[in-house]
A and B are shown apart, each in its own frame.
Chain A
């Protein structure tokens, strides 16, 4: 079965600084990978996804993520963080095959300092 780990529970960055949120997965083959963002009191919104092809994926709001098979990672990056990026970020993994289930990580809460 697949699993996903987000090692950082809470991260604080200064506005304008770069950001990298870590995500590691466990799966026997190449999985489907996703990053979602949850603003306070809201549902989750998809930022980006990786299915195949180019390992560097561009998403909404200036985010990108890179799939690294050798490291079983799918880290989320943004070159310059805005105060509005403060939210909780979830990495998720889906197994190829008949199932349509996503397994979510425990989330990383991002705080942005002015």
Chain B
């Protein structure tokens, strides 16, 4: 398997523009997670899905952020409108089983977002 795939790897955009980050989880994995990593706040969970259904979005910072998972092989994280404070590395991760079973999360390489 190719692992978790994220695109783009780097994104530079201007404040106010819409940004869409994409993720393809490992085939067969039932859980998908979106994280944000910054120097100030470290690695934060934004939202996670189980079987394409959003389970916990309490980490989504505000209404400008939205995430979807239309099918088992694709998820998007959208920021509209983007702001400079959204600059961060965004990671997608997937896992085969839940925390109570075995639970290894496999991380993608991340998307480095810069909002100017």
Q: Which residues of A contact B (CB under 8 A)?
A: 32, 41-46, 49, 51, 90, 94-97, 99-107
Interface of A, helix, strand, loop or mixed by DSSP? loop
Write out the residue numbers on chain A whose beta carbons fall within 8 Å of the beta carbon of B93: 43-44
**What are 14 A-B contacts with C-beta separation under 8 Å?**
A42-B110, A43-B4, A43-B91, A45-B107, A49-B103, A90-B43, A95-B99, A99-B56, A100-B56, A101-B56, A104-B42, A106-B42, A107-B42, A107-B43
Write out the residue numbers on chain B whose beta carbons fall within 8 Å of the beta carbon of A49: 103-104
Write out the residue numbers on chain B whose beta carbons fall within 8 Å of the beta carbon of A100: 31, 48, 50, 55-56, 95, 98-99, 103
A43/B108 in contact, CB under 8 A: yes
Q: Which residues of B contact A (CB under 8 A)?
A: 4, 31, 42-43, 45, 48, 50, 55-56, 91, 93, 95, 98-100, 102-105, 107-110
How far, in angstroms, from A96 to B45 measured CA to CA in the complex? 17
How far, in angstroms, from A46 to B42 measured CA to CA in the complex? 17
Nearest CB on A from B79, distance (A): 20
A46/B109 in contact, CB under 8 A: no
How far, in angstroms, from A14 to B87 measured CA to CA in the complex? 34
How far, in angstroms, from A49 to B109 measured CA to CA in the complex? 21
Write out the residue numbers on chain B whose beta carbons fall within 8 Å of the beta carbon of A94: 99, 103
How far, in angstroms, from A103 to B48 measured CA to CA in the complex? 13
Write out the residue numbers on chain A whose beta carbons fall within 8 Å of the beta carbon of B100: 96-97
How far, in angstroms, from A53 to B99 measured CA to CA in the complex? 16
Partner of A42, one of B43, B56, B103, B109: B109
Write out the residue numbers on chain B whose beta carbons fall within 8 Å of the beta carbon of A32: 99, 103
How far, in angstroms, from A96 to B43 measured CA to CA in the complex? 20
Which single residue of chain B is at the shortest CB-CB distance from A6?
B42
